[in-house]
Amino acid sequence: MNRTLRDPPLQRHPLITRALRGTLAALASICVAVPAWADGWTSTFTITSVYVAQQNNYQYRVNGMPADASCVNATTWGYINDLDAGSQGEVATILGAYYSGKSVSLHVVAVNGFCHIIEFTVSG
């Protein structure tokens, strides 16, 4: 079918228009809902300090972490508690990385706005 400039524009089917609007609205809501950094792995960094608090009160805190938007109450530190499975070995490894200046990458999950360390890697 050949169209000329004088022909009226093609009409869109109302169902297609509604479906397109719904799809665009869903995509927009997903983009707004996703934080700048979600739970997951941090980039590699060197620990700046380690803080020890009372038992199971964000007990072993690792400072120097890249800012994490999902951990709104403490964006630059993660924690390990005594009650976490394997916590003694994790804390020993974190302290070793801190004292030797090794780089770490943390896998964190936001819990009550704080970054709970669930696993990590040490490199360097």
Q: Are 73 and 114 in contact (CB under 8 A)?
A: yes
- E strand intervals along 1-124: 40-41, 45-46, 49-52, 60-63, 77-80, 103-111, 114-123
Confidence (pTM): 0.67
CATH topology of domain 40-123: OB fold (Dihydrolipoamide Acetyltransferase, E2P) (2.40.50)
Other CB atoms within a 10 A radius of the CB of residue 37 amount to 17
Is the pLDDT at 5 greater than 70, yes or no?
Answer: no
**pLDDT digits 0-9 by tens, 9-68:** 556 656 555 655 655 455 454 443 333 345 789 899 999 999 999 877 899 999 999 988
Instruction: Please give the residue that has the higher pLDDT: either 122 or 4.
Output: 122
- pLDDT for 30 equals 45
Q: Are 35 and 70 in contact (CB under 8 A)?
A: yes
**What are the backbone angles phi and psi of residue 119, rounded to the nearest 5°?**
-165, 165
- pLDDT for 23 equals 57
- pLDDT for 34 equals 37
**pLDDT digits 0-9 by tens, 64-114:** 999 888 899 988 999 999 999 999 999 999 999 999 999 999 999 999 999
- pLDDT for 106 equals 94
- pLDDT for 15 equals 58
